[in-house]
Amino acid sequence: MKVVRPLGITRCGRAEFRWGERTYVMGIVNLSPDSFAGDGVADPRAALDRARRFVAEGADILDIGGESTRPGSASIAVQEEIKRVVPVIERLAAEISVPLSIDTYKYEVARQALAAGASLINDQWGLKHDPRLAELAAERGVPIILMSNQRDRGGYDGSIKRDTAYYTDVVTEVISSLRKSLKLALERGVPWENIILDPGIGFGKTWQQDLELIRRLEELKELGRPILVGPSRKSFIGLALGLPVEERLEATAAAVAIAIVKGADIVRVHDVQAMVRVCRLSDAVIRSAQGV
């Protein structure tokens, strides 16, 4: 029987994440007006209000993003992304203790966000787009989230080649992708305990493959790092149930609960208060049974 390495503790800003003790909740603060979930805000004051509310509702991390990740969305200029996220991060860092994550795959955006007070990098490309993010994380001593993104499959040298073909075993593909990202991060100096992995629900998979990823999530545990899952309001819910984005709360809750049963350590969500409650009850059932 294979022995699984303990996940240990990851320090992020003023917080410590003690993996296995409970599920952590990441609240999404979208500063992109074209967010797929319909929650994007262009007004920094509205973003600040949302962030404060999420903290009051129990969020453990706030994920600040300035560019939409919806399928087909166009990339925005680096300076525009910085203009959207940095002022909000500066304000939040000055008044709240919850760690702030910068959701970007662009080196300069991440660098300025960290300088403004962010303490975690969330890279939706898993270092495929710019491996220098690993060097930045290592230099600044911050954790990094590496996601498996199958929208554009390519090399780990910064090049991206378009490949719209789907594969036969999504879990094998995702594990292989994450293993490469993990190896690259370690080679560039990121400590083992500062790496978090994300299978990338909704990023280049069919909706059936998204369901399969959640169903087989425990297989990712062989990689030995905490797993973040982001099913919130995603299109797989709409396609499976025929629901518009504004009616996906209950299904998101079901996906979150199942992901926790299957081994998720962090869930990334839009509806913080409801999902904190889902996580707490799921933990009460699952982790008490595991003797945590």
Of 91, 111, 151, 234, the active-site residue reads 234
Locate the domains of the chain by residue range.
21-289
Backbone angles phi, psi at 156, to 5 degrees: -100, 30
234 among known catalytic residues: yes
Residue of 268, 277, 280, 287 marked catalytic? 268
Q: Does domain 21-289 have CATH number 3.20.20.20?
A: yes
pLDDT digits (tens, 9 = 90+) for 243-272: 999 999 999 999 999 999 999 999 999 999
Torsion angle defined by CA atoms of residues 209, 146, 101 and 275, in that order, rounded to the nearest 10 degrees: 30
Cα distances from 43 to residues 24, 32, 90, 128, 264, in angstroms, run 27, 10, 15, 31, 33
For the entire predicted model, the pTM comes to 0.90
Name which residue leads in pLDDT, 157 or 186.
186
DSSP 3-state of 283: helix
262 catalytically annotated? no
Q: Which residue has the higher pLDDT, 36 or 14?
A: 14
23-57: per-residue pLDDT in tens?
Answer: 999 999 999 875 544 455 667 788 889 999 999 99
Which tokens hold the place of 143?
């954790």
Return the closest-CA partner of residue 256 out of 220, 235, 230, 237: 230
